[in-house]
Amino acid sequence: MTNSDLYVYNAQPSRPEAAKGADPVTTEIVRHSLNMAANQMKRSLVRTAFSSVIYEVLDFAAAIYDRDIRMLAQCQTLPMFMGTMNFCIEGAIAENGGIENFEPGDVILYNDPFGIGSHQQDASIVMPIFKDDEIVGYATAKAHLPDVGGKEPYCTDTVDVFQEGTIYPAVKIYKAGKLNEELHRLFLANSRFPRYTAGDLEALVVCVKAGAKELIKIIDRFGKQTFDQCAERMFDHGEIVVRKYLENIPDGKYVGKGMIDNNGIDDEPIPFEVSVEVTGSDITVDYSNAPPVTGGPLNCPIATTVSATRMALTYLANGGDMASEGHFRPLKVISKPNTLFHAEKPAPTFLFFVPAMRAMEAIWEAVSTAMPDNVTAGSDGDIEGAVWWGTHRDSGEDWVEGFPHPGGQGASAHGDGLSAMMHPMQAATRNTPAEVFETRAPWLLKKYELAQDSCGAGTYRSGLGCDIAYHMLDDSYVTVFIEQQKSEPWTVESGRPGRSNRGALIMPDGTEKSVTKHTGMLVPKGHTLEIRTGGGGGYGPAEERSVAAVLDDLRNGYISVEHVKKHYPHALDSDVQSAA
């Protein structure tokens, strides 16, 4: 393999002269103003969306970029989209023949997976922001729509991208402020749920218009020159924060390994490795040894691979700041086209996020070999998602619901892992409340509880997973996808892994059928689908966990007496039975 075979992604370099004259106090005011503008985009979308996956789950992102396509601010929703939005803008510009073909009021609809880094249902909306007939930035949003005409409303078994939904190659849904009626009719004609889809599309347009309005207000308040200087200083600060973290990692190359259970078509596991090389305050993450693209939808476009890498880095190094373009400057990403982490058309990509999640875990595992006290152990490793649909028996109205499920997060040198939390890829998303989906869908939530003994033992234990049971009051269809069933979460410093993820379809007589990845599975009335999310990895030897912590977990019901006997026998001399 030669260098010419490889793809290399670098962030835009710093511009030392551009930040001169920026006052630090004014810069902070500008930074917080931009973050509030992004959050205003979030509020606009949440208040106007039709689908609960947007307004409850928060399966979307909204961001503001400058004229050079550098991220100024993004709202705190779905981190996975954080690193893909610049690809959306760049693709929208390229597909329309350059910025000279934009005019005020244009709004672009773009959902080509190989441009936006997501499946077709993650519709991206890009709006160039004009001030005095000049583009000063871009407002962009991406959200999961109910359906865009794929073989099913959600898929685990596609064999090419064309089965996964209609592709809209950066077309203008609004031209100079006027709705493109013909395109809009075509868009709705390719959806099983046109009412939801129309409402969500218009909510996305409202969202980017809010971002455009807010950016203009900020530029008007501070003046264009001051705004530009402060933005540059903001980027420089983000770069400094990340570089200071990287300087603490010993120079060297570290390798993390991961595995995907299967490709959705056959049942063969897909192992891979990622190398992480640190040199001074620069970091290179290399995916070039990845296996070839798979025959099923477990392939990752390069935009999402870059995004997953950015997320893995910023979770470690950004110091709690909301990320901006500067945080990404120390990072280089290397990949090889037509492999697992650089899928190209027509490869199926519907479950693109699965390899991305596994890659994040592999990066953290690699860094943990160099800095075990600064990295959290592995998590449940998945979002354990389910998307349901059907027709209401009384009204004849179609319905659709979908959401991820929380699991256990890894422990660290600083304490126990968190229980019942979304994977870091989905960190700011939520599950839909039972009161909402029981009203909208014909089912009852029979159980939603922390799963006893699901945590990984250690000096510090991992978080617990959950047992969640949906009981059908009417026939329903579901696409379910549960990863990390064949592997366990990785651990740090001799910790022990928590339980792996599981799924089960429970018949009325109590018998069970294992559930892994299934598309359009009928769940008849009276049946129950149970999702059993895993725990994370433990940190440190279990025999070094304090007796007080073991007994406290026992009293709270997090662990059983049997779990104590297996993992913490040093605590057996204490009053274990009374604690239980």
The answer to whether 524 and 478 are in contact (CB under 8 A) is no
The angle subtended at Cα 381 by Cα 413 and Cα 307, nearest 5°, is 95
Candidates 477, 322, 326; CA nearest to 391 is 477
Rounded-to-5 percentages of helix, strand, coil across the chain: 35, 25, 40
Lowest mean pLDDT among 35-44, 304-313, 314-323, 325-334: 314-323
Phi then psi for residue 249, to 5 deg, are -90, 125
The answer to whether 124 and 168 are in contact (CB under 8 A) is no
Is 2 a residue whose pLDDT tops 60? Answer: no
What whole-number percentage of the chain has pLDDT above 70?
Answer: 98
Amino acid at 36: M
Exposed, middle or buried by CB within 10 Å (0-12, 13-18, 19+), for 349? buried
DSSP state of 347: S
Mean pLDDT of 357-386: 95
Tally Cβ neighbours within 10 Å of residue 240: 16
Can you give the pLDDT at residue 21? 86
Separation of alpha carbons 327 and 72, rounded Å: 11
How many helical (H) and strand (E) elements, i.e. helices and strands, does the chain have? 13, 21
DSSP state of 261: S
Mean pLDDT of 21-50: 95
Tally Cβ neighbours within 10 Å of residue 507: 12
Amino acid at 146: P
Mean pLDDT of 82-103: 95
Residue that wins the pLDDT comparison between 546 and 579: 546
Is 155 a residue whose pLDDT tops 90? Answer: yes
Is 412 a residue whose pLDDT tops 80? Answer: yes
Lowest mean pLDDT among 7-16, 210-219, 477-486: 7-16
Is 579 a residue whose pLDDT tops 70? Answer: no
Can you give the pLDDT at residue 14? 86
Residue 259 structure tokens: 């595995």
Mean pLDDT of 42-71: 94
Candidates 398, 305, 382; CA nearest to 349 is 305
Is 492 a residue whose pLDDT tops 80? Answer: yes
Is 1 a residue whose pLDDT tops 60? Answer: no
Q: Where are the domains of the chain?
A: 14-234, 381-545
Can you give the pLDDT at residue 392? 85
Candidates 196, 109, 183; CA nearest to 398 is 196
The answer to whether 122 and 103 are in contact (CB under 8 A) is no
Residue 432 structure tokens: 């839909």
Mean pLDDT of 119-146: 96
Q: How confident is the model at residue 580 (pLDDT cuts 50, 70, 90)?
A: low
pLDDT tens digit sequence for 316-347: 997 777 788 999 999 999 999 999 999 999 99
Residue with token string 């991406």: 142
Q: Which ranges of 421-542 would DSSP assign to H, the alpha helix? A: 434-440
Mean pLDDT of 129-140: 97
Separation of alpha carbons 534 and 445, rounded Å: 19
Residue with token string 């007939």: 133
Candidates 7, 93, 125, 122; CA nearest to 352 is 122
The answer to whether 137 and 89 are in contact (CB under 8 A) is no
Torsion 74-77-80-84 (CA) sign: negative
Separation of alpha carbons 79 and 84, rounded Å: 10
**What is the residue-averaged pLDDT of the chain?**
94
Mean pLDDT of 216-223: 97
Q: Residue 473 contacts by C-beta under 8 Å, 6 or more apart in sequence?
A: 442, 443, 444, 525
